[in-house]
Chains A and B, each alone.
Chain A
Amino acid sequence: MAHVVLVEDEPNIAEAIRFILSRDGCTVTALSDGMGGIEQLRSLGPDLVILDLMLPGISGLELLAAIRADRGLRGVPVMMLTAKGQGRDREAALQAGVNHFMTKPFSNTEMLAAVRGLVARRGAG
């Protein structure tokens, strides 16, 4: 059973993702921001991290960089969500080592497929 950590400041969006992924059998831990830091993430031991790009306090890109720099979390796949939809953001995220980039709004099946793929790869690796 995969453990997904979701960092999303919009409560309604977080609720929607949580519902979709839970129904598919994932365990979802939703955080409204990244203020807990890398220690919190490490302690949660996620199989997948879903980050919103624009977060209050620490931005999604900063969190991603911290994950990639952390010895324990380095291998964890990360999916990035953004409502801005600008090419610039996508490039910055890919450069920082994101595994999947998804634009809001998204279709539920698309989201589910992406999560499954990332989790499966993680399981295989």
Chain B
Amino acid sequence: MPFNLLVLFCLCYVAMLFCVAFLAERRAAEGRVRWLRSPAIYTLSLSIYCTAWTFYGAVGYAARSGLEFVTIYLGPTLVFVGWWWVLRKLVRIGRQQRVTSIADLISSRFGKSNILGVVVTLIAVIAATPYIALQLQSVTLSFAVFASGTPEGWALPNRDATAIWVAGGLALFTILFGTRNLDAKEQHHGVVLAIAVEAVVKLVALLAVGIFVVWGIAGGAQEVFARIDATQAAGWTLQPDRWIGMIAVSGAAVICLPRMFQVMVVEGGEDRHLALASWAFPAYLLLMSLFIVPIAVIGLERMPAGSNPDMFVLTLPLAEGQGGLALLAFLGGFSSATSMVIVESIALATMVSNHIVMPLWLRLAPKAAMKGDVRRIVLLARRLSIVGVLGLGYAYYRMSGGSAALAAMGLIAFAGMAQVLPVLLGGIFWRGATKAGAVAGLVTGFAVWAFTLLLPFFGPGTLLPQAVFDHGLFGLGWLRPQALFGIAGMDPLVHAIFWSAVLNTAAFCAGSLLTFPGPVERMQGAAFVNVFDADAAGPQGWARGRAEPEALLMMAQRILGEEPALALFEAEARAQGKAGYLPDATPDFVAGLERRLAGSVGAATAHAMISQIVGRATVSVEDLMAVANETAQIMEYSAQLEAQREELSRTAGALREANEKLTQLSVQKDAFLSQISHELRTPMTSIRAFSEVLTEGDLPPELVANYGRIIHDEAIRLTRLLDDLLDLSVLENGSVQLNLSLVNLQQLLDRALAAASHTRPERSFTVIRDLPAENLFLRTDGDRLVQVFINLVSNARKYCDAASPALTISVRQRAGRVHVDFTDNGTGIAKQHQAIIFEKFARLSDQHRAGGAGLGLAICREVMANLGGQVSYLPGRGGASFRVTLPLRIGRQAA
């Protein structure tokens, strides 16, 4: 067929697909998605698993390695039949968490970790690159086989040029299909429908070729079986290790491949979809594989030796002169390749832009991200990512020389993407799985895969030097890429699958066991593992739920208080025209109530509480985190209140204390005033009485003299009382001016004894002193100290009741302080009085002998306090004994 016609034909086919997609998008935009979301479409879209590799490569695989190609179909079949419950969980999680890609799912599961998103994206891109190259290669090959020069003499372009045209065309087509608009859920109804159409095309094409080969060429099924038996005898052997490894790896791939995840979880995903797909998709695979062996066997028989078995599907009809059938086969292959490339690029572009480009852009230009039109940036990132992904595929195609077998390249991609499976399964079934474990497992598995499978694929000396193959990495013998840990002799593919799976899983488990998940991780883990516990959530808004007005009222009363809640409900009931206080729980009312509650308990808590009552128990992690934040704020607030309350009670305590003190002071003041009154009135009484007597005249002179003396004495007594009161008030106020100087203690005592010697009654009084000890210098107010000494000495003179009174003055120095003890030989002070002798007016005996106002010791106490010392009574010393203690050198602050 002339290649220009073929190109035109392809373009028409693509345009037709584009129209299908466009119409589907239009229907979806109008909200008529029911038909588009039917289980049949879902199942057909899953056929994206069957790429050009399956379409062309399986025949080649069968021709080269016999029945082994069946493993590629057995893996997915086993998964859909036996593991449908895993798929159901994945699909449910995907819907509930609004997952956009497999990278998003893993990152979301492990605490929205960006690192994991990047790691999974990189693995996906690297693993998908050979796969995309495979599609380019198959289209290029089929084009080369099918097209011929034009009658006008246009030469057929060479393969590299074809490949780049194909890559460019697919990129353009993908951009047109997949990034026309931006949808938060990353669903593309148009693309899915186009894929479904392509699924039918490739199935019909392959079946048609198969039927033609069996009944058209071979002459019936019986004939074919006979020929197959003959070929098998020629050495098609089963290798159990390869079978197990490939079934496992293709089973893993059907879950983890970005495009499979896209159609299975992101685009669709309802339980009814899976119910059909669990048998219909294996059936589709069965039909796709039905005629592989006959085509391979007949092809090997009929086609000339050396022809590429990968192209038998195309070349057999051509050789038999069936141009129309060949065109259909070409279309089937083209469909397989394009659908795979489109969906794979969309899935990868979503990952790259969401997990690599956007985070980078947000970090580099945060300001622009805040205000600019992000949608434009995202679309640009997607389109560039698509171009990048296809560019990588093309580069790989050029590097691999465009000659490798299709199946081998596909298997590398399968094994690479399978590295995500342990983390994926652990993430949805094991709550103990942690981010650190996931990173460790993914990186280990990816590294082992790259070292043992991807890099060696290019052959020694290309990406890995020959030395590494022979002697291991860094010359370590146990690090040979195809004989890790010295275990040689395994099939390279099985070797790579085995070690990457074992080391990946081990690193993942060890990392998870050794680390603890963060709070978001913990919650996401619970949400993923227990996805079925949370009831299915409807769309936003309260319309779907059934709320009991009574339950709402009870909750509102708990939060708003009984009266306000009742008033709110009554008003609503009136507005609805209902009697009583229970309105219908209309969506508007529930939303209004939520806003009202949010004012009291915070938006997240209000939403969670309403969700509980309306029956939508789904509380997202964000909700929970917000609730936790609000709770923390409330706790902080109540802690502040508690602190304020404590402060208040402290203040109240202080006030109470101050009040008690004031009351006490007031009582003391009253008693003091009463005492003063008494002390003043007593001498006044004598003075007034005698002065009246004297003014009357006609008294004998001796009486006049006597009464005059009494008046004089009482006047002096009054003066002394007033002096003492004034002194005491100055001392107590602390406003006393100290006259500090260096003074000799002995001299001070001399002065005090001399001053006190006139105290009446005058009688013989012995003073015993310790002159050497007294001879020391003090820095203090000498006059004030003498005042204290005089008081103590005269007290002794007045009150000592011994027959021959004696006063002993002893001086001792201790630790920078001086003790001066005044001890007489009388009976001393009775125990019950010792406590009050320093109080004002605490005169114990009859006051005439004392002759003072009763303020002496009170003044002594105040003076000593001012001098930084004290005066105290020493009990049990025989007679009355007072001790004066003061510092040797008075400090500044004490003054």
A residues with CB within 8 A of B: 9-13, 15-17, 19-20, 32, 54, 56, 83-86, 103-108
Contacts and interface: CB of A to CB of B under 8 A. Distances in A.
Interface residues on B, range: 20 to 34
A13 B711 CA distance: 11
Interface stretch (B1-9, B16-24, B689-697, B724-732): B689-697
Contact of B685 (A9, A32, A83): A83
B853 to A, nearest CB: 13
Given A16-B690, A107-B692, A10 B677 contact: no
B681 A85 contact: yes
B318 to A, nearest CB: 137
Contact of B684 (A19, A54, A105, A108): A105
Contact of A13 (B677, B689, B693, B845): B689
Contacts of A20: 689, 693
B574 interface: no
B656 interface: no
A84 B674 CA distance: 6
Contacts of A9: 846-848
A108 B848 contact: no
Contact of B674 (A11, A15, A86): A86
B848 A11 contact: yes
Given A10-B848, A20-B693, A108-B689, A83 B710 contact: no
B791 interface: no
Contacts of B687: 105
5 contacts: A13-B685, A54-B678, A83-B681, A85-B677, A105-B689
Nearest to A108: B692
A8 to B, nearest CB: 10
Contacts of A12: 686, 690, 710, 713-714
- Shortest 7 CB-CB distances between A and B: which pairs? A16-B689, A83-B681, A12-B686, A104-B685, A105-B685, A105-B688, A83-B678
Nearest to B687: A105
A58 to B, nearest CB: 13
Contact of A10 (B686, B690, B845): B686
Interface string B98-119: 0000000000000000000000
A107 B689 CA distance: 7
B682 interface: yes
Interface string B669-710: 000001001100110111111101100000000000000001
Chain A binding surface SS class:
loop
Nearest to B674: A84
A87 B538 CA distance: 90
Interface in B381-438: none
Interface string B369-390: 0000000000000000000000
A12 B716 CA distance: 14
B689 A83 contact: no
Contacts of A13: 682, 685-686, 689
Contacts of A104: 681-682, 684-685
Nearest to A107: B692
Contacts of B682: 10, 13, 83, 104
A105 B674 CA distance: 15
Contacts of B714: 12
Contacts of B681: 83-85, 103-105
B677 A83 contact: yes
A12 to B, nearest CB: 4
A108 B846 contact: no
A20 B210 CA distance: 159
Contacts of B677: 83-86
A13 B845 CA distance: 18
Nearest to A9: B846
Interface in B263-318: none
A32 B688 CA distance: 20
Nearest to A86: B674
Contacts of A19: 693
A49 to B, nearest CB: 19
Nearest to A56: B846
A85 B682 CA distance: 11
B421 to A, nearest CB: 101
A86 to B, nearest CB: 6
A10 B689 CA distance: 13
A104 B681 CA distance: 6
A107 to B, nearest CB: 7
Contacts of A32: 846
A37 B846 CA distance: 18
Given A12-B686, A105-B685, 13 more contacts: A9-B847, A10-B682, A10-B686, A16-B693, A17-B689, A32-B846, A54-B678, A56-B846, A83-B678, A84-B678, A104-B685, A105-B687, A108-B689
A11 B848 CA distance: 8
Contacts of B693: 16, 19-20, 108
B673 to A, nearest CB: 9
Contacts of B692: 107-108
Nearest to B845: A56
Contacts of A107: 688, 692
Which of A9, A15, A19, A105 has the most C-beta atoms of chain B within 10 angstroms of its own C-beta?
A: A105
Nearest to A57: B846
Contacts of A54: 678
Given A84-B674, A84-B678, A106 B685 contact: yes
Nearest to A10: B682
B798 to A, nearest CB: 16
B716 to A, nearest CB: 12
A106 B684 CA distance: 9
Contacts of A108: 689, 692-693
Nearest to A23: B693
Nearest to B843: A56
Which of A11, A32, A84, A106 has the most C-beta atoms of chain B within 10 angstroms of its own C-beta?
A: A84
A17 to B, nearest CB: 7
B359 to A, nearest CB: 90
Contacts of A103: 681
A12 B674 CA distance: 21
Contacts of A16: 685-686, 689-690, 693
B685 A15 contact: no
B678 A10 contact: no
Contacts of B847: 9
A26 to B, nearest CB: 15
Nearest to B692: A108
A84 B675 CA distance: 7
Given A10-B682, A105-B689, A106-B685, A15 B710 contact: yes
Nearest to A88: B674
Contacts of B689: 13, 16-17, 20, 105-106, 108
Nearest to B690: A16
A103 B688 CA distance: 13
A74 to B, nearest CB: 29
A69 to B, nearest CB: 27
A108 B689 CA distance: 6
A95 B614 CA distance: 83
A106 B688 CA distance: 8
A64 B355 CA distance: 107
Nearest to B679: A83
A105 B689 CA distance: 8
Nearest to A15: B710
Nearest to B713: A12
A12 B678 CA distance: 15
Nearest to B717: A12
A51 B713 CA distance: 24
A7 to B, nearest CB: 13
Interface string B67-108: 000000000000000000000000000000000000000000
Nearest to A32: B846
A59 to B, nearest CB: 13
B671 to A, nearest CB: 11
A13 B689 CA distance: 8
A62 B527 CA distance: 92
B707 to A, nearest CB: 8
Contacts of B684: 104-105
